[in-house]
Structure 1
Amino acid sequence: MKRCSQAAEAIQYIHQKGVIHSDLRPDNYLLDTHSDHSLDLLLCDFGGSTNGVINGGRLPDPGFFNLCKPWVSTDATDIFSLGSIFYTIMTGHWPYRSPGPFQSVEKMRDYEDLIGRLFTSKQYPLIDEIDDLIGDKIIQGRWRE
């Protein structure tokens, strides 16, 4: 839960500053180790971000973007992405995906097609079926706005 809170706090902070990250995915969060061996989650890679007239021209990867919305970065873009970020933190894998790297470009494209079809039809993972998943209502709330 601490990592989910830190992910959300980072987005809240940048939104207060008028910044939309626009490319939230697990790769854009870093784990920082402290001398006491505790870990904190840090947000990185603002290359695709928007702020006022500056537009990095980036949107999140499939599974982290609401394909039912226009292809433009808004606060809601980041909020939707947080659902998939939380899901990934709590389950250890992306929505509708097994843990681990893609085995080929073809497998990655197959995933993009699958997640595109499912998320476009608002079919999100049934996380209430995962025993003891903390924050399931929050995750669903991000996806369903």
Structure 2
Amino acid sequence: MPSLLAQIKGALALDANASNTTRAHHAPAAGELASVQDIYEKMEKIGEGHFAEVYRVVHRETGQSYALKTIKKKRIPKGKEKVVKREIDILSRVAGHPNIVGLLPEDSFFETDRSYHLVMTLCTGGELFDVIVQRGYLAESEAALIIHQVTEALKYLHSIGIVHRDIKPDNLLIKDKDAPKMQVMVTDFGLSRTLDYEGQILLTACGTPGYLAPEVLSNLGHNTPADMWSLGCVTYVLLSGNMPFFAETTGGIFEKILKGEYEFDPECWDEVSANAKDFVRKLLTLDPDERMTAEEALRHPWLEYYFPSDPNIEPEADGPVAALSAE
């Protein structure tokens, strides 16, 4: 059977006006095409955008709940069809990763003349941003738990040539608010790009102002290190409750980013470990070639303290193995 990605690429290449049938992956029987309604029961609406709606659905055989994103083709702005297909392609590539909201490994993509239907992991715990608003800042063990998971996700994305380009707390979802240990999921690949070759430079500036890397702003081109800068900003926010680059205007924020001008205010950072500060410094490094990669970040002493790469080393007793919820 062709891979999920190959099947999706084939479906997207078909003329949408050629047939009224619904195309699905992993059809229930040879030669039989299933519709999304055959496999899933649609429940309540849980989200809505300009040209997409998101529902909770229940798998009819297993009873498991998932998120169904339905994209109405007629609502896609003219000229944006390529962007939508690119996002679907990326979602198929990341299917099944424990810290990325992508398509399910099977029964996940359906297309009709009018719509694309994408079945993905359901996250019920809300955005990490809301946790920060409620809590102000997190203990180091809690922040390390989150950053370790996001870094694992970035390591995987970068290994398959995907640059996210909008890493921020709003795009980090909590899978289950009632779970004993927080599971964080990277989402929203609307600005993401797949590199055509190793070392390719992207030139289109995009992202969220406070989390943009300096090379994005300077228009010199960017690549995977831009995601690592954003990760440094997220780490700073989790540990202090503040943005590393703050000014009254967007222009002022950009000026500070381009200079790498931030500080560890003693009022917020006095009790934060030297390793945590060093982790932030090595991500908020102006030169992208000198910035830590995802692999290097996972081996940094701060994350190694809580998540030893050597399986024979026991995690710290007060580390994030203890319960951590979104409450």
- In the alignment, is residue 60 of structure 1 matched against residue 207 of structure 2? yes
CA 1:36–1:126: 2 relative to 1, 3 Å: closer
1:117 aligned residue: 255
2:149 aligned residue: 6
How many residues align structurally?
132
CA 1:3–1:110: 2 relative to 1, 3 Å: same
- In the alignment, is residue 132 of structure 1 matched against residue 271 of structure 2? yes
Q: 1:16 aligns with which of 153, 159, 172?
A: 159
Provide runs of 4+ in structure 1 moved above 4 Å: none
CA 1:36–1:21: 2 relative to 1, 3 Å: closer
Query: Alpha-carbon deviation of 1:30?
Result: 0.8
Partners of 2:169 and 2:279 lie apart in 1 by 18
Is the partner of 2:158 in helix, strand or coil?
Answer: helix
Q: Are the equivalent residues in 1 in contact too, given 2:191–2:207 (CA < 8 A)?
A: no
Could you tell me the percent identity over the aligned residues? 22
In structure 1, list runs of 5 or more residues that go unmatched. Answer: 98-108
CA 1:27–1:111: 2 relative to 1, 3 Å: farther
Query: Alpha-carbon deviation of 1:95?
Result: 2.1
1:25 aligned residue: 168
Partners of 1:127 and 1:142 lie apart in 2 by 18
TM-score for both structures, normalised by structure 1: 0.76
Is the partner of 1:30 in helix, strand or coil?
Answer: strand
Query: Alpha-carbon deviation of 1:115?
Result: 1.6
Query: Alpha-carbon deviation of 1:133?
Result: 1.9
2:190 aligned residue: 47
Rg comparison, structure with higher value: 2
Is the partner of 2:184 in helix, strand or coil?
Answer: strand
Q: 1:87 aligns with which of 236, 240, 243?
A: 236
Query: Alpha-carbon deviation of 1:111?
Result: 4.2
Amino acid at match of 2:231: L
Is the partner of 1:33 in helix, strand or coil?
Answer: coil
Partners of 1:48 and 1:29 lie apart in 2 by 15
Q: Which moved more, 1:117-126 or 1:74-83?
A: 117-126
1:141 aligned residue: 282
Is the partner of 1:8 in helix, strand or coil?
Answer: helix
TM-score for both structures, normalised by structure 2: 0.36
The structure where helix makes up a greater share of residues is 1
Higher relative contact order (CA 8 A, sep 6+): 1
Amino acid at match of 1:75: T
Is the partner of 2:183 in helix, strand or coil?
Answer: strand
